[in-house]
Structure 1
């Protein structure tokens, strides 16, 4: 009887140790799964009035020295730029958007300029070859501000451009610090005077499957002109993880109205939807009634 009691006690102790280890692992994995810190960064600088991502403003195509100087000395919070490999030797990462193949500023120089300002950055990659050397430069720069890494990794509604291979891209960027925001989008298209499809359940579910195991915060760039047709799908997407946000953007010739955005403004947590839009529309959103919490 005593031997059985001792054996049961040892088994109980082992079971408790296993449970404790599992709890520790679960807590560790959860702690490594980061939420988006972008708003916290600007709140700590007293640049925002609250946790409303619509207050965050953007500079676009900051791919030259002149554009960078304007963005750094201007009032916007986030600076977006494109990274490619120079089309001739030395083949190093530069700030340019295809079809351009050269620039007057390299990524190394760009990062050094940005480093001394309180501006967040979003680097947009159109090819896989530019990513490895760019990540080396990012690591060397040791930036303290928000860093977003953007690429279209899946084909979406009306998309004709070739997305980057999702497995190759995600494999390359998962070594980035856990607070880095991965901006993962779909290639899309929009045709005036036509019935443009929204984000279908298929493309949204495939994207969520790709992102489910990631430890980084993820924002999904979504095209404003397609949002009216996509409320149910994108609402479901945000519900799948506290790591997920949306970033609403628009093409230069797209047509949509403020009314198309209001359902998102009213129904979703305002800290989880950024609006990379013209200031007239973005600031107009701030005059809409507060959403439910």
Structure 2
């Protein structure tokens, strides 16, 4: 779980990584965990119960498609208490130095939209960073594929990007942002 800062000492959003536990239980509840960890005693239901008491927006970062529907059902059960932004995130495309373990875009978007048609999507690329190597940025192919997926969406879309890769990708990312007034970038400073 991380906080998204709005300035020194200010966090406006709370992010949580969501997946189903690896124990294979048919009745598994979504949990808060980030691969390679795939088990946790912190369930999404418990987390939502705690976080709806705060004044923070929430960002749920999905690591698997299997966790989306049960998580949307839990989120729907607290919907009337959600008076702040809700962002739903998944890495749907391979990105710079990333891997191919992505969440399948169409079923992800369709499932989320069926529960929350007005949610803000946070749709990203898997990325990596290698301090001892030259790191490629977001290519034209990557941003054009993202635009192809997002162009028909009616919801706001933020593209989470790795800050260390933005400089070498300025032209591509600016092109993407100019495609719609619904698009924006969010960045993480982790390497």
TM-score higher than 0.5: yes
**Residues 1:167 and 2:106 aligned together:** yes
Name the one with the larger strand percent: 2
| Partner secondary structure for residue 56 of structure 1 | strand
Q: What residue in structure 1 maps to residue 121 of structure 2?
A: 182
**Residues 1:81 and 2:21 aligned together:** no
TM-score, reference length from structure 1:
0.59
Contact 1:107 1:134 survives alignment (8 Å):
yes
**C-alpha deviation, 1:102, in angstroms:** 2.7
Q: What residue in structure 1 maps to residue 58 of structure 2?
A: 121
Structure 2 unaligned blocks of 5 or more: none
Number of residue pairs the alignment of both structures matches? 184
**Residues 1:238 and 2:177 aligned together:** yes
Match of 2:133 among 183, 188, 194: 194
Q: What residue in structure 2 maps to residue 149 of structure 1?
A: 88
- Equivalent runs, 1:217-232 vs 2, <5 Å: 217-232=156-171
**C-alpha deviation, 1:250, in angstroms:** 2.8
Q: Residues 57 and 172 from structure 1, CA distance in 2 versus in 1: closer, same or farther, beyond 3 angstroms?
A: farther
Contact 2:113 2:119 survives alignment (8 Å):
no
Cα offsets for 1:68-100 (capped at 9, x unmatched) = xxxxxx842111111111233441111112232
Moved more, 80-89 or 233-242: 80-89
Contact 1:57 1:78 survives alignment (8 Å):
no
Contact 2:97 2:135 survives alignment (8 Å):
yes
Match of 1:133 among 70, 95, 118: 70
Q: What residue in structure 2 maps to residue 212 of structure 1?
A: 151
TM-score, reference length from structure 2:
0.88
Contact 2:5 2:11 survives alignment (8 Å):
no
Q: What residue in structure 2 maps to residue 101 of structure 1?
A: 38
Structure 1 unaligned blocks of 5 or more: 1-53, 59-73, 255-293
Distance in 2 of aligned mates of 1:223 and 1:101: 24
Q: What residue in structure 2 maps to residue 12 of structure 1?
A: none
Distance in 2 of aligned mates of 1:239 and 1:203: 16
Contact 2:20 2:29 survives alignment (8 Å):
yes
- Equivalent runs, 1:47-62 vs 2, <5 Å: 56=6
Distance in 2 of aligned mates of 1:222 and 1:236: 14
Distance in 2 of aligned mates of 1:165 and 1:196: 25
